[in-house]
């Protein structure tokens, strides 16, 4: 590992600490190949002025779209095998790059990222406030892009940060989870990076931070219900928040109905949960009158605000249960029939379990069906065109009739517009069926099927097999849908026809 193998990417909102960071890293010997500073203030902000240093420094802009988007703008502009992401408020010593090189040296290719040990110095002579403890918690977080180096291959295979995370919250956990789903490991290095204690949010900061519940909903939609355990976090407080809000609502409604006992019970429930919440936040803190008052007030405000943001997130990232389409397209190999590479023999056609049943259910609902299939064996001379026709006829006899057959006979090098992941086959099938591509869903077993559908404007359902790459499954989980088998794949289509 050499210094020239590393690019440093720093997203910034123009904090003063950025200058120190650039001077320390860019003026050190050795220095990284390049420091890319991505200015994420909106485009009207004046150009960022940085002092000249030994290392090459590039300043790019990301137009106020948040740290996830800013980091993507940064790493995409680099070419080194490793990209080190640093936040603009951390402080590092002159030996930082040497420690990073030591951390990355001799890492096996299976390691996709290395994270630093983050130290957040506590306040002198007193316990940290509730707000400060939200920053000190960073020290215990499993993956944190305050100082995290990613291998370029890992970024390429995940596509980098998900820009739907608008804040410096959860976007790092999401990328780390997808990196692991893509088959990489993440290790903790020996380098130590200092993150400052933040406390200028004012008394309301714990309430406004509840916005993060909307980001949690996106993480849940992408990574499933067990997302908290997977990122190494304890249980959330949604249950207690529901009890608090439910108790308060009961008290108010019961009062208006003059049901005194019920009102008292509701109020007692609310008071008990709120007192427990406030106590839990007061005890580890400095317990000054101001902090205690802030904790009491905000402990009452947080539950309804947190639940409201949770609802906003659930609504924003919901996946409708139904899929309203006018035609269903299927990939052939690995989706309708067992995948035999370059199948030339009609006798080699073996339908997948349940395929015939699923196709019949769709036909009975009046849905036109099509097949969209890549057959590069023709271009490679491994199957003759008439053999392909024979195999497809056999498929049609066992599982058909299909209302359209779209087959791409070309190879990768031909640069045609039909070979999936290009959208040509999906468009052609839609045209022949007399529907728009957006009224079609394509069911397939690999990422190229999903890509072809999305690029044509159609919906997609991935039914992974043992050979489907984990990264393609991870992508389909949020860009499309993933189902365990063909039956499950058509469930939302059938539900949408009722
Ligand atoms: Mg296939
Ligand atoms: Zn083609």
Q: What is the mean pLDDT of each run of 10 residues along the chain (498 residues)?
A: 96 93 95 96 88 94 89 91 96 95 95 95 90 85 91 88 89 93 92 87 87 92 84 89 95 94 95 96 93 95 95 84 90 95 91 94 94 93 93 94 95 87 93 95 94 90 90 77 92 83
44 assigned to some structural domain? yes
Picking from 97, 61, 94, the residue whose alpha carbon sits closest to that of residue 80 is 97
Domain containing residue 453: CATH number: 3.40.50.1000
**Ligand 1: distance of its center to the CA of 68 in Å?**
33
**Are 291 and 358 in the same domain?**
no
What's residue 82's pLDDT?
98
Same domain, 189 and 246: no
Domain membership flag for residue 319: no
Same domain flag for 144 and 281: no
Coil, strand, or helix at residue 57?
strand
Q: How far is the CA of 62 from the centre of ligand 1 (A)?
A: 38
Q: Do 250 and 158 lie in a common domain? A: no
Verify whether residue 103 is a known catalytic residue: no
Residue 34 belongs to some domain of the structure: yes
333 is an active site residue? yes
Find the domain containing 104 and state its range.
3-199
What gap in Å lies between CA 308 and CA 170, rounded to an integer? 18
In a shared domain, residues 260 and 377: no
Could you tell me the distance, in angstroms and rounded to a whole number, from the CA of residue 383 to the centre of ligand 2?
15
Write the CA distances from 292 to 62, 132, 380, integer angstroms. 40, 14, 75
Of the candidates 40, 162, 174, 331, the residue annotated as catalytic is 331
Q: Based on the domain organization, do 279 and 363 belong to the same domain?
A: no
CA dihedral (97, 99, 102, 105) positive or negative: negative
446 belongs to a structural domain: yes
**Which pLDDT does position 498 carry in this prediction?**
63
Q: Could you list which residues have their CB under 5 Å from ion ligand 1? A: 331, 333-334, 445
In 118-259, alpha helices (H): 130-136, 152-158, 171-181, 205-208, 212-223, 227-230, 238-256
pTM over 0.75: no
User: How far is residue 190's CA from residue 260's CA, in Å, rounded to a whole number?
Assistant: 62
Tell me how far the alpha carbon of residue 374 lies from the centroid of ligand 1, in angstroms: 8
Report the alpha-carbon distance of residue 270 to residue 299 in Å, rounded. 11
- Judged by its nearest atom, the ligand closest to the C-alpha of residue 352 is 1
Q: Are residues 265 and 348 located together in one domain of the fold?
A: no
Helices (H) and strands (E) in the chain, counts: 18, 13
Whether residues 300 and 345 fall in one domain: no
Do 188 and 255 reside in the same domain of the chain?
A: no
CATH number, domain of 176, equals 3.90.550.10
Give the number of domains in the chain: 3
Residue 50 placed within a domain:
yes
Q: Is there a single domain that holds both residue 297 and residue 336?
A: no
Q: Which of 144, 167, 199 is the last residue of a domain?
A: 199
Q: How many angstroms separate the alpha carbon of residue 411 from the centre of ligand 2?
A: 7
Helix intervals (H) in 257-326? 260-282, 289-316
Say if residue 96 is in the same domain as residue 189. Answer: yes
Marked catalytic residue, from 40, 89, 172, 333: 333
| Domain identity same for 427 and 284 | no
Q: Does the residue 230 lie in any domain?
A: no
């Amino acid at each position: 590992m050499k210094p020239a193998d590393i690019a440093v990417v720093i997203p910034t909102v123009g904090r003063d600490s950025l200058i120190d960071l650039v001077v320390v890293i860019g003026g050190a010997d050795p220095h990284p190949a390049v420091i890319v500073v991505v200015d994420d203030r909106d485009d009207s902000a004046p150009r960022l002025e940085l002092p000249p240093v030994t290392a090459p420094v590039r300043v790019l802009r990301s137009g106020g779209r948040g740290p996830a988007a800013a980091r993507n703008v940064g790493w995409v502009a680099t070419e080194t095998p490793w990209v080190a992401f640093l936040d603009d408020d951390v402080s590092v010593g002159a030996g930082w790059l040497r420690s990073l090189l030591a951390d990355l040296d001799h890492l096996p290719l299976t390691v996709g990222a290395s994270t630093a040990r983050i130290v957040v110095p506590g306040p002198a002579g007193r316990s940290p406030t509730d707000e400060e403890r939200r920053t000190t918690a960073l020290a215990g977080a499993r993956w944190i892009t305050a100082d995290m180096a990613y291998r370029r291959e890992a970024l390429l295979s995940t596509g980098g940060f998900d820009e739907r995370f608008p804040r410096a919250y959860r976007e790092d956990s999401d990328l780390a989870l997808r990196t692991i789903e893509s088959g990489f490991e993440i290790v903790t290095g020996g380098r130590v990076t200092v993150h400052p204690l933040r406390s200028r949010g004012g008394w309301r900061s714990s309430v406004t931070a509840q916005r993060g519940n909307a980001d949690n909903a996106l993480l849940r939609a992408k990574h499933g219900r067990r997302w908290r355990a997977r990122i190494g976090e304890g249980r959330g407080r949604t249950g207690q928040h529901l009890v608090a809000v439910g108790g308060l609502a009961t008290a108010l409604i019961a009062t208006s109905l003059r049901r005194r006992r019920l009102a008292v019970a509701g109020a007692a429930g609310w008071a008990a949960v709120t007192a427990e919440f406030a106590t839990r936040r007061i005890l580890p803190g400095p317990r000054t009158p101001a902090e205690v008052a802030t904790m009491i007030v905000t402990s009452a405000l947080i539950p309804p605000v947190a639940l409201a943001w949770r609802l906003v997130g659930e609504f924003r990232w919901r996946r409708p249960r139904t899929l309203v389409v006018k035609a269903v397209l299927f990939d052939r190999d690995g989706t309708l029939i067992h995948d035999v590479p370059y199948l030339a023999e009609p006798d080699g056609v073996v339908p997948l379990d349940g395929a015939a049943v699923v196709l019949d259910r769709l036909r009975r609902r009046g849905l036109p069906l099509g097949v969209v299939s890549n057959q590069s064996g023709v271009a490679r001379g491994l199957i003759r065109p008439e053999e392909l026709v024979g195999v497809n006829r056999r498929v049609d006899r066992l599982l058909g009739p299909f209302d359209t057959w779209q087959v791409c006979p070309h190879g990768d090098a031909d640069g045609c517009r039909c070979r999936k992941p290009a959208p040509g086959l999906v468009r052609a099938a839609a045209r022949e069926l007399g529907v728009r591509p957006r009224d079609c869903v394509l069911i397939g077993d690999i990422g190229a099927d999903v890509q072809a559908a999305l690029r044509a404007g159609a919906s997609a359902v991935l039914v992974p097999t043992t050979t489907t790459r984990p990264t393609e499954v991870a992508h389909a989980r949020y860009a499309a849908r993933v189902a365990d088998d063909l039956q499950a794949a058509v469930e939302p289509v059938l539900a949408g026809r009722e």
